[in-house]
Structure 1
Amino acid sequence: MKKSAKFITTAMLAATLLIPAMGVSANGESTETANGNEKFRVLVDSANQQDLKNAKNQYGVQWDFKGEGFTTNMNAKQYEALQKNKNIKVEKVPEYSIEATSSEPLAKYSTMAASQATPWGIKAIYNNSSLAKTSGGAGINIAVLDTGVNVNHPDLSGNIEQCKDFTLGASITNGTCTDRQGHGTHVAGSALANGNGGLYGVAPQSDLWAYKVLGDDGSGSSDDIAAAIRHVADQATALKTKVVINMSLGSSAESSLITNAVNYAYNKGVLIIAAAGNSGPAQGSIGFPGALPNAVAVAALENVIQNGTYRVADFSSRGYSSTDGDYSIGKYDVEVSAPGAAVYSAWYTGGYATISGTSMASPHAAGLAAKIWATTPNSSNVQIRANLQNRAKAYDILSGSGAGVGDDYASGFGFSRVQ
């Protein structure tokens, strides 16, 4: 599916790629208040290295992306003044946010419901309505880039391998990834909940890299996200391990920093799974980073059987009907589908919650990728992606606006499942 869209809706950081500068204050979001002036995040670049150095000294550095420039915080007057400098290129950095249909869950639960040990989405992706527990994913890392994770949650604590915060300032804070919003904990639960508290995810033996890239309001700056993506790739290389990134976040605006980071990670062997977005059923509504060719965009399915298959939710973002049937992935394409409506999973309080959104679909696909990769650890990320596509073709989605026989703009190749 190829189309240019009209809808613009523990350890080490590779010093040659990302150099965080110390001592620059930031709150992890794209705006902050300093001296009564509202500040926002910008990307600054220049072909003249002396001008670039001067700008760094003047404004401070949030993240240094080397050949792409550096990010910093400035107010409107500073931004306007810098725009007049012909030797400097400056642009605002887009904000990204969670891809749930609501910032509040449909329901919250303080204790685990025995009937939800394997929620409907887990049973569906395993194609087993009587499933009692899950297995798989050993040796594979799932990096959840989100609002953080409650690392003490009984269904997740045994899986934590890394916990890092990219929102606290101009450096990576190791050992903390506190989730005060809930979204990241919920996402992690669907991917790999281990059953210790009663809840099972798709790949419960996977290791969790919990990277906090979004603030407590569920939004964050694209440079923080790009820094985390690159860090995942560098960690995967340094530790010689396989990693699946899950990004249940998005924006209608493309960030060059995130695009380049996704390409960097993909070329380093990392598999990137991302939510398609919640702007459906309109065509051309897929957000970034899901819209990128090197990210697997996941559409959301409802727990409704129609025309003999699960149904694509109306809220799930769509690609373009003109690309139907080509079984090719380009920009702004849905690739696969997974359960995303009324999904029960872990919550940041230590309890559980039910949420809807493509945010919930993405970790189902990420968990499946980890489960598959664990069985063929010598496979490349490209081969695992092809495996997901082939599994999707075996379960075509025929229900929901835009869904139809074969590759379609609503469900992509279909529903990737364990069997």
Structure 2
Amino acid sequence: MKKMKSTLLSLLIAGAVINPVHATTMNGDSSSRNDDSLETFRVYVEANNPSSKSTLQAQYSPRWELTENGFSTDMNEKQFEALQNNKNFTVTKVPIVTLDTVDLENDNMIENEVTDSTIAARASQQLPWGIKAIYNNNNLTSTSGGSGINIAVLDTGVNTSHADLVNNVEQCKDFTGATTPINNSCTDRNGHGTHVAGTALADGGSDKGGVYGVAPDADLWAYKVLTDSGSGYSDDIAAAIRHAADQATATGTKTIISMSLGSSANNSLISSAVNYAYSKGVLVIAAAGNSGYAQGTIGYPGALPNAIAVAALENVQQNGTYRVADYSSRGYASTAGDYVIQQGDIEISAPGSSVYSTWYNGGYNTISGTSMATPHVSGLAAKIWAENPSWSHTQLRSNLQARAKAVDIKGGYGAATGDDYASGFGFARVQ
């Protein structure tokens, strides 16, 4: 497997990390622009007033309108520089996020690349170790729960025809190609998104011979926000977050957004979208990142107060508890011990290393990272919410925190008794 280039910034996705790159270019249709020979790139434009916005939209086709006077579009360098000098607009380049995974042999970040020999045609593990651990039952034979709750998986897409996922699919949308979500299109040629979805809600398939996720009765909203290579634009991710929140409102249903992705820098488009979704009653759960074990390494949006940041546990016992993986990003020791979630805090820990789950080719695969830990918590949240449908998302979050406090984690760098900067409140479980 290839090692990640050192120039990439860390942003995470299920055993994966994601990075904002500020000047990546892409080719586009420039027929209405000044110089169609120049490469174009994605930008976000904020106008000072609606009139200025309308004027600019006549020149540049909007991709996503994420604020009242702002929209994303493509333009070349000359156009970008000209707009920077126009006092009526604020223009910034839209960061790209990139996916990678964790190499457990040497703790290096590696590209999410596997060989056919690592992928099983049928499930060799129906109840992976993480599922047994979160259920606190080594003799578990199946899982249950989550009925009526939506889990929106924002990722590389999902193989919605996978035998263990097909019964759960309610929405399948692609945010990476067009200026509006493409319905019934969320093909995953990477594997990451399918793996995440399986951990959250795989139901074992119609023959019950497949793998089980935490909440097999939950509904899957598969939103493709990253391309097959594992990279994507921040505005596409922000648009999907807002869309999930609006869909939750329109359908009157309880919704959890599960994001195994993140960036080392706080992106305003994504952070404002997370705050918007949270204001609509949606619970947002995100990977902490794979940049540990130094302090202050949690990625965004996991680092935001309105998102639950999830750390990764190994299937290893230390000091009488599971151990936080070395690669799992950490918060700050200065804010540990207060049981209060601030920006840059770990909130909950869950199984993340050597996680077995569904794969994009219809089979199964084992990968690692905080990306893998995140859907364990998303599935648990769906299971608990289904059992307590009158709860608000904040009541649900409080319950998850209480469950985490009951299972303290003391293994791994920075882990200690109580609220610590490595494991947060602890390991939230079914029982």
TM-score normalised by the chain length of structure 1: 0.91
Secondary structure of the structure 1 residue equivalent to 2:58: helix
Q: How does 1:5-24 map to 2 (within 5 A)?
A: none
Paired residues for 1:260-409 under 5 Å:
260-409=272-421
For 1:192, the equivalent position in structure 2 comes to 201
Q: Equivalent of 1:104, from 86, 98, 112? A: 112
Deviation, 1:106, is 6.5
Q: C-alpha displacement at 1:99, in angstroms? A: 6.1
- Report if aligned partners of 2:99, 2:112 keep a CA contact under 8 Å in 1: no
AA matched with 1:370: A
**What is the CA distance between 1:104 and its match in structure 2?**
2.4
Question: 1: distance between equivalents of 2:240 and 2:246?
Answer: 10
**1:177 aligns to 2:186 (yes or no):** yes
Q: Secondary structure at the match of 1:384?
A: helix
Give yes or no for contact 1:334–1:412 (8 Å, CA) kept in 2. Answer: yes
Once structures 1 and 2 are overlaid, which stretch shifts more, 52-61 or 225-234?
A: 52-61
CA RMSD of aligned residues (A): 1.6
User: Quick check: 263-272 or 66-75, which moved more?
Assistant: 66-75
AA aligned opposite 1:104:
N
Aligned to 2:26: 32
Q: Which residue of 2 aligns with 1:52?
A: 53
CA contact (8 A) 1:106 1:354 kept: no
Return the letter of the residue paired with 1:100: T
Runs of 4 or more consecutive aligned structure 1 residues displaced over 6 Å after TM superposition: none
- Please identify, of 66-75 and 303-312, the stretch whose mean Cα deviation from structure 2 is larger: 66-75
Q: Distance in 1 between matches of 2:402 and 2:24?
A: 39
Residues 100 and 112, structure 2, Cα contact 8 Å, conserved in 1: no
Secondary structure at 2:101 match in 1: coil
Distance 2:266 2:77 in 1: 22
1:162 is aligned to 171
Contact 2:48/2:88 (<8 A) preserved: yes
**Alignment partner of 1:80: what SS?**
helix
TM superposition shift of 1:112: 2.2
Residue aligning to 2:16: none
Q: Structure 1 vs Structure 2: percent identity of aligned residues?
A: 64
Aligned mates of 1:106, 1:278 — CA distance in 2? 19
CA contact (8 A) 2:123 2:363 kept: no
The CA distance in 2 between the partners of 1:30 and 1:382, in whole Å, is: 38
Unmatched tracts of structure 2, length 5 or more: 1-8, 11-22, 29-35, 103-109
Name 1:231's counterpart in structure 2: 243
Separation in structure 1 between the aligned mates of residue 257 and residue 68 of structure 2, nearest angstrom: 24
The Cα of 1:95 is off from its aligned counterpart by 1.8
SS in 2 for 1:414: coil
Q: Distance in 1 between matches of 2:138 and 2:120?
A: 25
Q: How does 1:117-156 map to 2 (within 5 A)?
A: 117-156=126-165
Task: Give the superposition deviation at 1:40.
Answer: 1.7
| Letter matched to residue 58 of structure 2 | N
Q: SS of the counterpart of 2:326?
A: coil
Mapped partners of 2:69, 2:341: distance in 1: 26
- Kindly tell me: are residues 388 and 226 of structure 1, through their superposed partners in 2, closer, same or farther at Cα, counting changes over 3 Å? same
Q: Does the 8 A contact of 2:50 with 2:69 survive in 1?
A: no
How many aligned positions are there?
Answer: 392
SS of the residue 2:248 aligns to: helix
How far off is 1:105 after superposition?
Answer: 5.5
| Letter matched to residue 418 of structure 1 | V
Whether the 8 Å CA contact 1:276–1:286 is kept in 2: the answer is yes
* Amino acid of the structure 1 residue aligned with 2:315: N
**Structure-2 residue corresponding to 1:18:** none
Q: Distance in 2 between matches of 1:270 and 1:225?
A: 16
Give me the whole-angstrom Cα distance separating, in 2, the residues matched to 1:119 and 1:110.
14
Q: CA deviation at 1:66?
A: 3.4
Q: Is the contact between residue 100 and residue 360 of structure 1 (CA under 8 Å) also seen in structure 2?
A: no
Question: What CA distance in whole angstroms lies between the structure 2 residues aligned with 1:81 and 1:72?
Answer: 15
8 Å contact 2:49–2:69 — kept in the other structure? Answer: no
The 3 A distance-change label for structure 1 pair 418 and 222 is: same
Aligned mates of 1:36, 1:315 — CA distance in 2: 43
CA deviation after TM superposition for structure 1 residue 255, in Å: 1.5
CA contact (8 A) 2:191 2:359 kept: yes
**Matches of 1:379 and 1:92, distance apart in 2:** 40
Aligned-partner SS, 1:90: strand
- Return 346-355 or 79-88, whichever deviates more: 79-88
* Contact 2:100–2:111 (8 Å) recurs in 1: no
- Contact conserved, 1:155 with 1:346, CA < 8 A, in 2? yes
Q: For residue 312 of structure 1, report the CA deviation from its aligned partner.
A: 0.4
The residue aligned with 2:3 is none
1:211 to 2:219 alignment: no
The alignment partner of 1:157 has SS state of: coil
Q: Is residue 2:259 matched to residue 1:247?
A: yes
Cα offsets for 1:110-152 (capped at 9, x unmatched): 32243x1000110111111121111111111110000000000
Q: Which one is further off, 65-74 or 166-175?
A: 65-74
- 1:87 deviates by 1.7
The CA distance in 1 between the partners of 2:371 and 2:67, in whole Å, is 31
C-alpha change, 1:277 and 1:99, in structure 2 (3 Å) is farther
Structure 1 residues 296 and 99: alpha-carbon distance in aligned structure 2, compared to 1, 3 A threshold? farther
User: Are 1:63 and 2:71 an aligned pair?
Assistant: no
Post-superposition offset of 1:30: 6.7
Cα distance in 2 for residues equivalent to 1:378 and 1:66: 31
TM-score by length of 2: 0.88
